[in-house]
C-alpha cells in the first residue's frame, strides 16, 4: 500500500501535497550522521498540537521507530548504511515527507604529490621537477563519503592556489584524485605544497566541518645557474697590498660547481676568490664558470692593481717635516742655548778661580 502511495506521489507530487491539510515534518532535516554513529530523528505534525490527531507512520529499513505522543521517534544506535530512505506519512493517506539523510565519513588519508602530466610518478612526491614544465599537483583523498560534499583546496605555503570539487556522486566511500595544473618555476624550489579535503555538510552537519590535511612536500626544482647580479664584465681596481674578493656566487639546483681561469688560480673551486694582498702579478682578466647538469654561466672580471702614492707622499712629507724640524732645532740650539749655557759655566768658573786665587794671596 505504501509503495502505491509513493508511486502516486512520484507521478503527481503536486496533487499529493495539495490534498494534504498538514504534512509530517522531520527534525533535524537533513539528518547528517557520521557512519557508525547513533542517529536520531523525529517526525511530527501540526507543530505537536494535540488536537490534531493524525496517526503518523514511519517507513524505514531499521525498524527502529517508536511512537511517542503524536510524534514518531527514530533512533538507531549506529548508522551502518551509506544511503537509506525514510518516509513519514499520515496513516492511510498519501501525505508523505521523506527525510534527507547524509551519511558521511571524513577521508581516511589525504596525500599530495607532484606527477608528470601523463599521471606518471616522479622519483618522489616532491620531484625532482624541471623548471618551466607543466606538472600535476595531485591530491589523493582516500575513502571519503559523500564525495559530492567534499571540496579539495591546494596550497603553496599559506596561499590557497585553487579549490576543486569531485564529480563523483557515490554515497559510499570512494577514493578521489584531483589534479591541479602547475607550471613549475625556480621560485617554487623549496616552497611547501599541500592540500586539504573539507566535508561541507551544511548547518546540520558538524561544526567546524571535518578537514583532513595532507603532509607538506617541499618542491625540488632543478634549474641552471643563472644570472642574478652582474652579467657585465666587472672591472675591479684595487690598491697594491689590499685584499680583494671576486664574487661569482650564483643560485642553481643542483648546487653549481665553480671553476676559474687565471694561471695563478686555476685549481680554485670556490665561488668567491679572495686575493689577500694584490700585486701587479694578480692583474688581468679572470673568468669564473658556474655549472650544473642543466647549464652554465660565465662571469668575467678584470683586476687592476695600482700603487697608491698617497701613503708614500704622506710618509715623505712627514719625513721632510721631521728632518726640517730637526735642522731648525739644531740651529736654534747652536745659536742660543749652547752659548748661554757656556757663558754661565765660564762665569761661575771664573768666580771660583778668583776666590781660589784670592785666598793664598791674603794669607
Ligand atoms: C605545512 O606548511 C604550512 C605552510 O608553510 C605550515 O603552516 C604548516 O605548519 C606545515 N605543516 C606541517 C605539518 O609541517
Alpha helix segments (H runs only) across the chain = 2-11, 13-18, 309-332, 338-362
What share of the chain in percent tops pLDDT 70? 85
**Nearest C-alpha to atom 7 of ligand 1 is from which residue?**
158
How far, in Å, is the centroid of ligand 1 from the Cα of 126? 15
Backbone angles phi, psi at 31, to 5 degrees: -90, 120
Q: Contact, 303 vs 236, CB < 8 A? A: yes
Distances (CA, A) of 168 to 101, 118, 157, 178, 255: 18, 22, 28, 11, 44
Question: Could you tell me the pLDDT band of residue 363, with boundaries at 50, 70 and 90?
Answer: very low
Q: In what order do the strands lie in the sheet with 71-76?
A: 25-27, 39-44, 71-76, 65-68
Does position 142 have pLDDT exceeding 90, yes or no?
A: yes
The H-or-E segment that residue 299 falls in is strand 295-306
Question: Could you tell me the pLDDT band of residue 40, with boundaries at 50, 70 and 90?
Answer: very high
Give the per-residue pLDDT at 337: 67
Q: State pTM to two decimals.
A: 0.72
Range from 211-225, 283-297, 348-362 carrying the lowest mean pLDDT: 348-362
How far, in Å, is the centroid of ligand 1 from the Cα of 167? 28
CA distance 98 to 151: 27
Kindly state the cell numbers that stand for 212: 583532513
How far, in Å, is the centroid of ligand 1 from the Cα of 159? 11
Q: List Cβ neighbours of 265 (8 Å cut-off, separation of 6 or more).
A: 273, 286
Q: Contact, 248 vs 317, CB < 8 A? A: no
Question: Could you tell me the pLDDT band of residue 264, with boundaries at 50, 70 and 90?
Answer: confident
Strand 159-165, strand 295-306: pairing: unpaired
Give the per-residue pLDDT at 7: 52
- C-alpha angle 341-343-345 in degrees, rounded to nearest 5: 70
Q: Contact, 271 vs 336, CB < 8 A? A: no
Best residue among 192, 211, 213, 215 to mutate for probing ligand 1's pocket (most ligand atoms within 8 Å of CB) is: 192
Does position 130 have pLDDT exceeding 70, yes or no?
A: yes
Does position 172 have pLDDT exceeding 60, yes or no?
A: yes
**Nearest C-alpha to atom 9 of ligand 1 is from which residue?**
216
**Nearest C-alpha to atom 3 of ligand 1 is from which residue?**
157
How far, in Å, is the centroid of ligand 1 from the Cα of 202? 27
- 303 in helix, strand or coil? strand
Ligand 1 site: residues with CB under 6 angstroms?
157-158, 192, 194, 216
Taking every pair of C-alpha atoms in the chain, what is the biggest distance, in angstroms? 178
Give the per-residue pLDDT at 202: 92
DSSP state of 110: E
Q: Contact, 26 vs 89, CB < 8 A? A: no
Best residue among 216, 217, 218, 219 to mutate for probing ligand 1's pocket (most ligand atoms within 8 Å of CB) is: 216
Give the per-residue pLDDT at 351: 46
How far, in Å, is the centroid of ligand 1 from the Cα of 319? 69
Backbone angles phi, psi at 71, to 5 degrees: -110, 160
CB atoms under 10 Å from CB of 38, counted, come to: 11
Range from 97-111, 165-179, 310-324 carrying the lowest mean pLDDT: 310-324
Helices (H) and strands (E) in the chain, counts: 4, 25
- 137 in helix, strand or coil? strand
Give the per-residue pLDDT at 343: 47
Give the per-residue pLDDT at 82: 93
Backbone angles phi, psi at 233, to 5 degrees: -60, 140
Question: Could you tell me the pLDDT band of residue 39, with boundaries at 50, 70 and 90?
Answer: very high
Average pLDDT value over all residues in the chain: 84
Alpha helix segments (H runs only) across 218-264 = none
- Convert the pLDDT of each residue in 63-90 to its tens digit: 888 888 788 999 999 999 998 899 999 9
Q: Which ligand 1 atom sits closest to the C-alpha of 155?
A: 4
DSSP state of 107: -
How far, in Å, is the centroid of ligand 1 from the Cα of 216? 6
**Nearest C-alpha to atom 10 of ligand 1 is from which residue?**
216
End-to-end CA distance of the chain: 178
Q: Contact, 265 vs 286, CB < 8 A? A: yes
**Nearest C-alpha to atom 14 of ligand 1 is from which residue?**
216
Distances (CA, A) of 91 to 3, 49, 237: 13, 17, 103
Give the per-residue pLDDT at 188: 94
Does position 355 have pLDDT exceeding 50, yes or no?
A: no
Range from 52-66, 107-121, 141-155 carrying the lowest mean pLDDT: 52-66
Give the per-residue pLDDT at 9: 54
Kindly state the cell numbers that stand for 171: 554515497
Q: Which ligand 1 atom sits closest to the C-alpha of 158?
A: 4
CA distance 101 to 85: 8
Does position 60 have pLDDT exceeding 70, yes or no?
A: yes
Amino acid at each position: 500500500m505504501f509503495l502505491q502511495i509513493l508511486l502516486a506521489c512520484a507521478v503527481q507530487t503536486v496533487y499529493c501535497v495539495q490534498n494534504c491539510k498538514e504534512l509530517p515534518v522531520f527534525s533535524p532535516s537533513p539528518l547528517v550522521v557520521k557512519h557508525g554513529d547513533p542517529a536520531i530523528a523525529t517526525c511530527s505534525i501540526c507543530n505537536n498540537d494535540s488536537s490534531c490527531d493524525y496517526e503518523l507512520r514511519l517507513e524505514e529499513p531499521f525498524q527502529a521507530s517508536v511512537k511517542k505522543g503524536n510524534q514518531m521517534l527514530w533512533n538507531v544506535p549506529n548508522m551502518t548504511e551509506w544511503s537509506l530512505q525514510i518516509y513519514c506519512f499520515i496513516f492511510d493517506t498519501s501525505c508523505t515527507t521523506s527525510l534527507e539523510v547524509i551519511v558521511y565519513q571524513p577521508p581516511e588519508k589525504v596525500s599530495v604529490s607532484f606527477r608528470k602530466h601523463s599521471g606518471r610518478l616522479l622519483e618522489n612526491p616532491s620531484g625532482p621537477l624541471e623548471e618551466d614544465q607543466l606538472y600535476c599537483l595531485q591530491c589523493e583523498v582516500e575513502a571519503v563519503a559523500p564525495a559530492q560534499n567534499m571540496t579539495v583546496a591546494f596550497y603553496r605555503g599559506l596561499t590557497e592556489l585553487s579549490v576543486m570539487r569531485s564529480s563523483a556522486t557515490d554515497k559510499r566511500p570512494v577514493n578521489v584524485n584531483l589534479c591541479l595544473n602547475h607550471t613549475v618555476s625556480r621560485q617554487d624550489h623549496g616552497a611547501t605544497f599541500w592540500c586539504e579535503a573539507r566535508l561541507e555538510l551544511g548547518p546540520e552537519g558538524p561544526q567546524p566541518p571535518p578537514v583532513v590535511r595532507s603532509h607538506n612536500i617541499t618542491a625540488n626544482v632543478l634549474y641552471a645557474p643563472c644570472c642574478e647580479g652582474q652579467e657585465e664584465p666587472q672591472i675591479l681596481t684595487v690598491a697594491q697590498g689590499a685584499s680583494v674578493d671576486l664574487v661569482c656566487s650564483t643560485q642553481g639546483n643542483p648546487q653549481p660547481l665553480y671553476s676559474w681561469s687565471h694561471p695563478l688560480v686555476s685549481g680554485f673551486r670556490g665561488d668567491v676568490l679572495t686575493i689577500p694582498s694584490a700585486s701587479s702579478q694578480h692583474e688581468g682578466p679572470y673568468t669564473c664558470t658556474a655549472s650544473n647538469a642543466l647549464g652554465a654561466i660565465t662571469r668575467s672580471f678584470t683586476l687592476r692593481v695600482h700603487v697608491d702614492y698617497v701613503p708614500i707622499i704622506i710618509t715623505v712629507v712627514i719625513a721632510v717635516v721631521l728632518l726640517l724640524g730637526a735642522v731648525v732645532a739644531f740651529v736654534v740650539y747652536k745659536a742660543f742655548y749652547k752659548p748661554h749655557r757656556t757663558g754661565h759655566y765660564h762665569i761661575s768658573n771664573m768666580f771660583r778661580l778668583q776666590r781660589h786665587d784670592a785666598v793664598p794671596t791674603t794669607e
